Amino acid sequence: MADSNVWPQGYRCAVVLTVDYNDIHGILTQAPEVAGRDKTLSVWRYGSQRGVTRLLDLFKTLGVASSWCIPGIVAEENPEHIRAILADGHEIACAGYRHQNYDNLDLAAQRADIAKGCEALSALTGQRPTGFRLPAGNGAPGFIEALSDEGIRWSSSWRGDDLPFAHPTAPQVIDLPLHYELEDEPYFAFNLSPAVPPAQSRIASYSHTLGNLQMDFAGFHRFGLCYVLRLHPEIIATPGRIGVLRELLEGIQRHDDVWIATAGDVAQWWADSAAQVSEDHPAAVYERHYRDYLK
């Protein structure tokens, strides 16, 4: 069980609501063959047309803060949404400039994409983002240091833990780990023609999905961990699924010992108060062995 003192006094666990707002650029990275197929792309345009507003309305009703991970090009194409997100007090983090698979980029290209994304967001918001999420793929060796050089102080891209951790090669960058079972996409991503992804499964039961998310929260709460939800406007913000999210969040809010905060606030708390990553932490093991492998 996590040390009950890892969170601010009175709180047993942390909950972070993150939103990946990619518009059509996310699916074009995943399946470039759908370019020009307007019927298919309309599935992902739904996030901009309806989903963003519906998510913001729910967050305002419940009085919760969230962190939005946005590629620079999406921000430039939807400035009214950027203004609305900021006006409601939410955090905006960078997801590069043009949503790309970082597996296809060397470190120099990754650095350039990070910088261009941060610059685009800064131009629209008047403030440089301090958070980052990989749009797709993996960072090259030196990627975390590149984030630090751009002023990034938190990332939410890795897995391998259920508490935040400082990256061993750039300890000023705190990672808030993800878990597939705390994302909406594995449950609900579905597009009939063409199949995206190939061999797609059927849409999951809404009630079963809610039950899964509630059981995971119960476990994270019991053990005093950091529950990071990863949401997409085009997926979770349909008229039916938004009710799943509402019921989940209302249940979480019934606990008076849960800290619902932005990723930036949680990362700052962790940087100020928690121990550095140990040598046997998955992040440290990865960095050590991956760098040895490349020699």
Cα separation, 61 vs 295, whole angstroms: 53
Residue 212 domain boundaries: 4-294
* pTM of the model as a whole: 0.87
Sign (positive or negative) of CA dihedral 81, 83, 86, 92: positive
Q: For residue 223, how many other CB atoms are within 10 A of its CB?
A: 13
As a whole number of angstroms, the distance between CA 247 and CA 34 comes to: 34
Rounded CA gap, 48 and 132, in Å? 21
Residue 1 has a pLDDT of: 41
CATH number at residue 35: 3.20.20.370
Residue 161 Cα distances to 19, 40, 164, 177, 215, angstroms: 20, 35, 7, 6, 18
pLDDT given for residue 286 in this prediction:
53
Helix (H) or strand (E) holding 287: helix 282-294
pLDDT computed for residue 3 by the predictor: 47
Beta strands in 146-209 (DSSP E): 154-155, 165-167, 170-175
Cα dihedral: 146, 150, 151, 155 (round 10): -50
Is-contact 123 156, C-beta < 8 A?
A: no
Q: DSSP of 44-64, one letter per residue?
A: HHHIIIIIHHHHHHHHHHHT-
H or E element at residue 227: strand 226-231
Whole-angstrom distance, CA of residue 273 vs CA of residue 44 = 40
Q: What is the CA angle 260-265-266, rounded to 5?
A: 70
Take residue 275 and report the two structure tokens written for it: 């121990």
Helices (H) and strands (E) in the chain, counts: 13, 9
Kindly tell me the burial class for residue 113, based on how many C-beta atoms sit within 10 Å of its own C-beta (0-12, 13-18, 19 or more).
buried
Q: What integer pLDDT is reported at residue 159 of this predicted model?
A: 86
Domain count, the chain: 1
- What is the per-residue pLDDT for 22? 85
Mapped onto helix, strand or coil, the DSSP state of residue 37 is coil
Q: Rounded to 5 degrees, what are φ and ψ at 93?
A: -115, 160
pLDDT in tens, the chain (295 residues): 444 568 999 999 999 999 999 877 667 667 777 766 766 777 767 778 888 999 999 999 999 999 999 999 999 999 999 999 999 999 999 999 988 889 999 999 999 999 999 999 999 999 999 999 998 888 888 999 999 999 999 999 888 899 999 988 888 999 999 999 999 988 987 765 566 666 666 788 999 999 999 999 999 999 999 999 999 999 999 999 999 999 999 999 999 999 999 999 999 999 998 655 555 555 555 555 555 655 5
Q: How far apart are CA 7 and CA 56, in angstroms?
A: 27
Q: Pick the closest to residue 176 from 3, 17, 30 (CA basis).
A: 17
Residues counted in the chain:
295
pLDDT of residue 223: 95
Longest CA pairwise span in the chain (Å): 53
